[in-house]
């Protein structure tokens, strides 16, 4: 199962190595990882998307991360109300004839063309990973020359619904 785990870490040299080395050593699969500074000086935030077998493996992952001295806080935010975004840049083969066609495809995704050359355009898209996937799928037939994704970054929404607010809806009822 895919989980989104964030770790608040001391921004020290080697900390990324500690964390990724730890995950590799314990055989956790990292799908994506993004790191950047936070609002606090000297503190960075890492966001991982990991693929784990079950809850016990997931628990091990967060516990092992927590044991790191440079790791201040670990949260599995998958089941929280979150905002999660990823940025991708896609260089698509395009001559002037199909440029507008591409424009039409990317528009509903609120993506933008950020570079144009004779043979290609570069599209920038931001959103949840599945949205990015969907756009890439649509652009693939035109020929993708180059693709770069930042990996997901995420945090919890300002308001977390209380347990009582969760209701299960069913069409059968």
Residues that bind another protein (CB under 8 A): 9-10, 13-14, 17-18, 21-22, 25, 56, 59-60, 63-64, 66-72
**Cα distance between residue 81 and residue 115, in whole Å:** 35
Q: What is the DSSP code string of 18-81?
A: HHHHHHHHTTPEEEEEEEEE-SSTTEEEEEEEEE-SSHHHHHHHHHHHHHSTTEEEEEE-TTS-
Q: Which is nearer to another protein, 64 or 124 (CB)?
A: 64
Smallest separation, CB 25 to another protein (Å): 5
Q: Which is nearer to another protein, 29 or 160 (CB)?
A: 29
Smallest separation, CB 24 to another protein (Å): 9
Strand partners, 82: 156
Helix (H, G, I), strand (E, B) or coil at 11: coil
Smallest separation, CB 151 to another protein (Å): 22
Q: Which is nearer to another protein, 63 or 110 (CB)?
A: 63
Q: With left for phi above 0 and alpha for psi between -120 and 50, is residue 114 left, alpha or beta?
A: alpha
Residue (of 83, 84, 88) closest to 126 by Cα position: 88
Smallest separation, CB 48 to another protein (Å): 17
Q: Which is nearer to another protein, 13 or 162 (CB)?
A: 13
Q: Which is nearer to another protein, 66 or 156 (CB)?
A: 66
Smallest separation, CB 173 to another protein (Å): 35
């Amino acid at each position: 199962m895919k989980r989104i785990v964030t770790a608040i870490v001391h921004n020290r040299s080697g900390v990324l190595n500690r964390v990724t080395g730890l995950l590799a050593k314990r055989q956790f699969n990292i799908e994506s990882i993004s790191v950047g500074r936070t609002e606090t000086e000297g503190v960075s935030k890492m966001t991982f998307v990991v693929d784990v077998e079950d809850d016990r493996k997931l628990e091990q992952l967060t516990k092992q991360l927590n044991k790191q001295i440079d790791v201040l806080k670990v949260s599995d935010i998958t089941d929280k109300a979150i905002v999660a975004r990823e940025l991708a840049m896609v260089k698509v083969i395009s001559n002037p004839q199909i440029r507008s066609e591409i424009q039409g495809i990317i528009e509903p995704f609120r993506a933008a063309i950020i570079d144009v050359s004779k043979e290609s355009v570069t599209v920038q898209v931001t959103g949840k990973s599945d949205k990015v996937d969907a756009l890439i799928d649509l652009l693939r037939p035109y020929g993708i020359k180059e693709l770069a994704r930042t990996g997901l970054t995420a945090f919890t929404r300002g308001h977390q619904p209380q347990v009582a607010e969760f209701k299960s809806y069913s069409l059968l009822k």
